[in-house]
Amino acid sequence: MHGLQERIQETLEVIRGQWTREPRIGIICGSGLGKLSEALTIEAAYEFADLPHFVLSTALGHAGRFLCGKWNQAPIVAMQGRLHFYEGYTLAEITYPVRVMQALGVDLLIVTSASGGMHPQHHPGQIIVIDDHINLMGDNPLAGWNDEDLGPRFPDMSRPYDPPLLEKALEIARQKNISAQRGVYVGVKGPNYETRAEYRFFRAIGGDVVGMSTVPETLVAVHGGTRVVGLSTVTNVCLPDALTPVTGQEVIDVAHQASRNVRIIIDGLIQHESRTMKSELFP
């Protein structure tokens, strides 16, 4: 996308007009997880419509706000709601907020989402710490012209989700008695939920959960050198031979109920990062 850095600077000017902290952590609040923002001491809030080059969130349960503030005294920026491919936007538009986060100073992105669980041991409300992903969206936000100042033409994706922080997230879950597993996330365009044959296919190729987000943001984050932690809430179990209908509102409701556990894991990760940051400043 030509002129991307110029657009980013125009967005930064609006944000920096009210908020001047240097955040190292960014959070994307997925479906039903907008209340995660309640842990944030909000110092500045922007509707997506008020930020240059942001597009509007039209998805169910997504407020569409960009929040700036502190979480346990750590400067944080957060998307209260996200953008999706099925809304008709390009992947470049969907991932533009991640570019803005990186320009603000974010070097850790925590991505949350709702997903369908395809493993027989999954249950609604379970947290999946994403170990890897499969991109079946039919597109890639890194396709097209590449700005080498933002990232390499051919970024490595051998470990898109930061291994030490992945283990830390699982450790926090164990300590807090939260049901969590690692798993592979299959990213699809949506907006329909999948057929029985599609679930069988996703499981056969190595998928554990399936959803309509996360992958584009992760690709752009890694492209820009940002570490990523992915936390996906299983909102419905998708076993082809025992498949039952599901609605968008049901997905939102389960994700909302599980948001407390997601918040506990994020809180532990932020505390861990804060301690790490202090040790870097005062070795």
Closest CA relative to residue 67, chosen from 105, 92, 112, 36: 36
Is 236 annotated as a binding-site member? Answer: yes
Is 140 annotated as a binding-site member? Answer: no
Burial of 192 (0-12, 13-18, 19+ CB in 10 A): exposed
Q: Which two tokens stand for residue 192?
A: 């329909």
Is 83 annotated as a binding-site member? Answer: yes
Burial of 164 (0-12, 13-18, 19+ CB in 10 A): exposed
CB-CB neighbours of 53 under 10 Å: 16
DSSP assignment letter at 205? T
Is 113 annotated as a binding-site member? Answer: no
Dist. CA 184–CA 186, nearest whole Å: 7
Is 279 annotated as a binding-site member? Answer: no
Q: Would you give the distance in Å from CA 60 to the centre of its chain?
A: 16
Dist. CA 182–CA 262, nearest whole Å: 14
Per DSSP, the three-state class of 152 is: coil
Return the residue matching tokens 């299959």.
186
Is 31 annotated as a binding-site member? Answer: yes
Is 114 annotated as a binding-site member? Answer: yes
Is 22 annotated as a binding-site member? Answer: no
Annotated binding site for phosphate: 31, 62, 82-84, 114, 213
Annotated binding site: 31, 62, 82-84, 114, 194, 213, 236
Annotated binding site for a purine D-ribonucleoside: 194, 236
